[in-house]
Amino acid sequence: MPRGPMRQGFGFAVEAAVPGGPRAGRLATPHGTVQTPLFMPVGTLASVKGVDVGRLADTGAGVVLGNTYHLHLRPGEEVVQAAGGLAAFMGWPGATLTDSGGFQIFSLADQVQITDAGASFRSHIDGAAVRLTPEDSMRIQQSLGADIAMQLDDVVGLPAEPARVEEAMRRSLAWAERCLAAHSRPDQALFGIVQGGLDPQLRRVSAEALAGMPFDGLAVGGLSVGEGAEAMRTTLAATMPHMPVDRPRYLMGVGRPIDLIDGVAAGIDMFDCVLPTRCGRTALAFTFAGVLKMRHARLRDDLRPIEEGCPCPACRHSRSYLRHLFLAGEMLGPILVSLHNLTMYARLMQQLREAILCGAFEAVAAGLRQQIDGDAD
Amino acid sequence: MPRGPMRQGFGFAVEAAVPGGPRAGRLATPHGTVQTPLFMPVGTLASVKGVDVGRLADTGAGVVLGNTYHLHLRPGEEVVQAAGGLAAFMGWPGATLTDSGGFQIFSLADQVQITDAGASFRSHIDGAAVRLTPEDSMRIQQSLGADIAMQLDDVVGLPAEPARVEEAMRRSLAWAERCLAAHSRPDQALFGIVQGGLDPQLRRVSAEALAGMPFDGLAVGGLSVGEGAEAMRTTLAATMPHMPVDRPRYLMGVGRPIDLIDGVAAGIDMFDCVLPTRCGRTALAFTFAGVLKMRHARLRDDLRPIEEGCPCPACRHSRSYLRHLFLAGEMLGPILVSLHNLTMYARLMQQLREAILCGAFEAVAAGLRQQIDGDAD
């Protein structure tokens, strides 16, 4: 799979695609090849919360995401680098991706000041002053050593003033150039990030500009930041025609199962989101037949698993037992339901992929949409 | 292995023993045969905290303990019974044991009133009035359906007035008779519990009286309640000669690795304790070379596992990574170190067993004692 901009050990091939629509592919990395569409579990601090790497592999996960902002603060990239990089540090045998820190600066940091030079802010842990430029982000991500790094971007919460949205988009483009210039690690891919809020014209400008740069993939950023599902779908529809078809396309921080179906339908190849583990910790289980509130009284004597046919460790237990674990405050409840949700997300991606490969995506997606977003029985 | 008092599906055979000293045996239960000496992980609320049953089996665990007091309050024995009993409810394929509630009434409950009839107290969860007689404990434990049930006993914290210690011992004997009379489940073994504080004479009276009753095994209770390691050792030495040799002998609630070596040396076959998981949650790892404080700064760049040669999931990671998990507040730290500690306890039992079988217990125990109770390198 020879590709111009692709870094050493990387490759991306589309196996089947509906023009302008869903596609199935393969992404090769130095740590193995994964199938797309792909959901990437989030291991913020080099740990997918509550899930050991053996169990994580069993969920069907292919790529694990780490957060540059968090890892820079704790334990520091030098500790991760000394251990051989993010994958070695966390004992994960597969591929990894680090985000750039842009989203966490937007969502977590205090006293944020963003200029064209970069971001200055206070750590959310101890208030220490931290500065993050595009060059800093590249240096840190190259030390963390994930297979895929992301450009630093300027992320805006929505709704926002049009001038601020445009400023952030243009600044992200300038930072994209600087990230490419600063990035030198040949065994690490680098993705650009499309910004532009809900404005189709800004999204187009951003996507076309980034498509002309030698990035190994492009992400759609700045969504799932308060705009609502319908606005996200509309923006995605306006953006995707301007995204290159020969490189992987990644929708950042999204989302619910129904959002993944929408994203795949629009031609997205990669997703990440904390929802499967965050909801797992708060007793919400995702199933193909809808969501299940694991603390609900009606589950008290329900001896069925969360989902029939699911191979995860939670589904070796009854709903009655899992409900008991949550009511009793046992940490095994969050552990097991996180494992279930990660498994469900991986199985959903697998079903969508198979549907694409056999030309049945529309029918399969329509069937899934009927139940997946409601309450499970 | 025909034994008079042994219930259906049970058996106990001593394979090798030093007279008056350590012994190796096999305990058959309806859920499989386990080797002794044996450490039993504590699954208070039908969950060994942070450990799924698949991982638990991998630690080498043979019997899991559940707490009658806790399970009676949450989820209630009727829920457990409806699921097919404790093992089925928690998805554990092996044997289980429930304690009687006596220790939790002593250690957890509020406004406890103990009379010859039984105990009345307030739930530590919601303050509800609860009454527990020997007959109640048998009824609840038969509903929970573990392989081994324990008699209700009157547990005294130490130090205590001699009259109170003697009263509790004699009351426990009376309750032992009532438990035997009330217990009718043929597929569940029932153990008596020796009490008597630190008084060798009371311990002897208790042990001899219980040995004359048709219990399937005897436990030493009322230790590890504030008396200190030396007093525990002395009391054990005074008690063991009066314990029957043809039935399993169980030291309840003990303890550190060094205590397990002492207990095995004195002829104990079974142990339980929350230490491996409680210490795992608080970042203390047990190794054959001593204890390791996982938050210690010197582990920051220590790329060694907790213990070389340990097959547990934690020891696939570096100390540096595990330290990071604890400092970052990631729940994976407690999970992994709990797994390590449970594995270490099972391996310690296995080493002691093999030493007994090949006649080398004294030398092996002396070697282990040199390092196991200090600080690890």
Nearest CB to B335; choose among A50, A320, A321: A50
Compute how many other C-beta atoms are within 10 angstroms of the C-beta atom of residue A345. Answer: 24
Residue B195 in tokens: 């009490």
Compute how many other C-beta atoms are within 10 angstroms of the C-beta atom of residue B3. Answer: 13
The answer to whether A83 contacts B316, with C-beta atoms less than 8 Å apart, is: no
CA distance B306 to A171: 46
CA distance A316 to A308: 10
ipTM reported for the complex surpasses 0.90: yes
Confidence tier at B109 by pLDDT (50, 70, 90): confident
Report the gap between the CA of B55 and the closest CA in chain A (Å): 9
Measured between CA atoms, the residue of chain B closest to residue A75 is B324
Are the C-beta atoms of residues A12 and A128 closer than 8 Å to each other? no
Q: Chain B residues with CB inside 8 Å of A321's CB?
A: 46, 83, 89-91
What pLDDT, on a 0 to 100 scale, did the predictor assign at position B155?
Answer: 93
The answer to whether B49 contacts A331, with C-beta atoms less than 8 Å apart, is: yes
Whether B301 is catalytic is no
Report the gap between the CA of A87 and the closest CA in chain B (Å): 11
User: Domain A24-273, CATH 3.30.1330.60 — does that match?
Assistant: no
Residue A372 in tokens: 């997946």
Strands B270-273 and A290-293: unpaired
What pLDDT, on a 0 to 100 scale, did the predictor assign at position B364?
Answer: 98
Residue A321 in tokens: 């037992």
Please say if the pLDDT value at position A6 is more than 80: no
Q: What is the three-state SS of B77-94?
A: HHHHHHCCCHHHHHCCCC
Of A272, A251, A246, residue with least CA distance to A262: A251
What pLDDT, on a 0 to 100 scale, did the predictor assign at position A5?
Answer: 55
Length of chain B, in residues:
377
What is the mean pLDDT of the segment spanning B317-321?
A: 98
pLDDT tens column, B241-262:
999 999 999 999 999 999 999 9
Q: Chain A residues with CB inside 8 Å of B83's CB?
A: 303, 318, 320-321
Mutate to test the interface with B, among A321, A322, A327, A340 (most CBs of B within 10 A): A321
Are the C-beta atoms of residues B169 and B235 closer than 8 Å to each other? no
Q: Between residues A88 and A227, which one has the greater pLDDT?
A: A88
Share of chain B above pLDDT 90, in %: 92
Task: Look over chain A and give the mean of its residue pLDDT values, rounded to a whole number.
Answer: 96
pLDDT tens column, B184-194:
999 999 999 99
Q: Chain B residues with CB inside 8 Å of A342's CB?
A: none
Please say if the pLDDT value at position B15 is more than 90: yes
Nearest CB to A321; choose among B74, B89, B318: B89
CA distance B338 to B142: 30
Chain B residues within 8 A (CB-CB) of chain A? 45-55, 70, 74-75, 79, 82-83, 89-91, 300-301, 303, 313, 316-318, 320-321, 323-325, 327-328, 330-332, 334-336
CA distance A1 to A45: 33
For helices A162-182 and A200-211, what crossing angle results, to 10°? 10
pLDDT tens column, A117-138:
999 999 989 999 999 999 999 9
Whether B99 is catalytic is yes
What pLDDT, on a 0 to 100 scale, did the predictor assign at position A200?
Answer: 97
Supply the DSSP string of B125-160, one letter for each residue: TT--EEEE-HHHHHHHHHHHT-SEEE-------SS-
Please say if the pLDDT value at position A142 is more than 60: yes
For A255, the 3-state DSSP assignment is: coil
What is the mean pLDDT of the segment spanning A96-102?
A: 94
Nearest CB to B45; choose among A45, A328, A335: A328
Are the C-beta atoms of residues A361 and A352 closer than 8 Å to each other? yes
What pLDDT, on a 0 to 100 scale, did the predictor assign at position A110?
Answer: 84
Please say if the pLDDT value at position B153 is more than 50: yes
Q: Chain B residues with CB inside 8 Å of A303's CB?
A: 82-83
Domain ranges within chain B, ordered by starting residue? 24-270, 281-371
The answer to whether A83 contacts B321, with C-beta atoms less than 8 Å apart, is: yes
pLDDT tens column, B21-39:
999 999 999 999 999 999 9
**Helices (DSSP H) in A83-161: which residue ranges?**
86-90, 102-107, 134-144
Measured between CA atoms, the residue of chain A closest to residue B302 is A83
Measured between CA atoms, the residue of chain B closest to residue A79 is B301
> Which residue out of A147, A154, A216, A272 is catalytically annotated?
A272
Give the global pTM.
0.96
Please tell me whether the peptide bond between A60 and the residue prior to it is cis, using omega within 30 degrees of 0.
Answer: no
Picking from A163-172, A218-227, A284-293, B141-150, which range would have the lowest pLDDT averaged per residue? A218-227
pLDDT tens column, B154-209:
999 999 999 999 999 999 999 999 999 999 999 999 999 999 999 999 999 999 99
The answer to whether B313 contacts A51, with C-beta atoms less than 8 Å apart, is: no
Nearest CB to A79; choose among B45, B55, B324: B324
Q: What is the CA radius of gyration of chain A?
A: 20
User: Domain B24-270, CATH 3.40.50.300 — does that match?
Assistant: no
The answer to whether B313 contacts A83, with C-beta atoms less than 8 Å apart, is: no
Cβ-proximal residues to B231 (8 Å cutoff; 6+ apart), any chain: B158, B198
> Which residue out of B153, B216, B259, B272 is catalytically annotated?
B272
pLDDT tens column, B34-86:
999 999 999 999 999 999 999 999 999 999 999 999 999 999 999 999 999 99
Residue B119 in tokens: 């105990």
Q: Chain B residues with CB inside 8 Å of A316's CB?
A: 53-54, 91
Host H or E run for residue B11: strand B11-17
The answer to whether B82 contacts A330, with C-beta atoms less than 8 Å apart, is: no
Distances (CA, A) of A313 to A372, B92, B114, B245: 21, 12, 43, 41
Q: Chain B residues with CB inside 8 Å of A55's CB?
A: 52, 55
Q: Between residues B217 and B2, which one has the greater pLDDT?
A: B217
3-state class percentages of chain A: helix first, strand second, coil last, to nearest 5: 40, 20, 40
> Which residue out of B52, B99, B302, B375 is catalytically annotated?
B99
Q: Chain B residues with CB inside 8 Å of A51's CB?
A: 332
Measured between CA atoms, the residue of chain A closest to residue B55 is A55
Distances (CA, A) of A98 to A95, A178, A277, B300: 11, 18, 18, 22
Measured between CA atoms, the residue of chain A closest to residue B332 is A50
Confidence tier at A3 by pLDDT (50, 70, 90): very low
Residue A340 in tokens: 């279930």
What is the mean pLDDT of the segment spanning B142-151?
A: 98
Share of chain A above pLDDT 90, in %: 92
Q: What is the three-state SS of B157-211?
A: CCCCCHHHHHHHHHHHHHHHHHHHHHCCCCCCEEEEEECCCCCHHHHHHHHHHHH
Q: Chain A residues with CB inside 8 Å of B82's CB?
A: 301, 303, 320
pLDDT tens column, A249-288:
999 999 999 999 999 999 999 999 999 999 999 999 999 9
Report the gap between the CA of B293 and the closest CA in chain A (Å): 17
What pLDDT, on a 0 to 100 scale, did the predictor assign at position A107?
Answer: 87
Report the gap between the CA of A71 and the closest CA in chain B (Å): 10
Report the gap between the CA of A312 and the closest CA in chain B (Å): 11
Are the C-beta atoms of residues A61 and A52 closer than 8 Å to each other? no
CA distance A366 to A368: 5
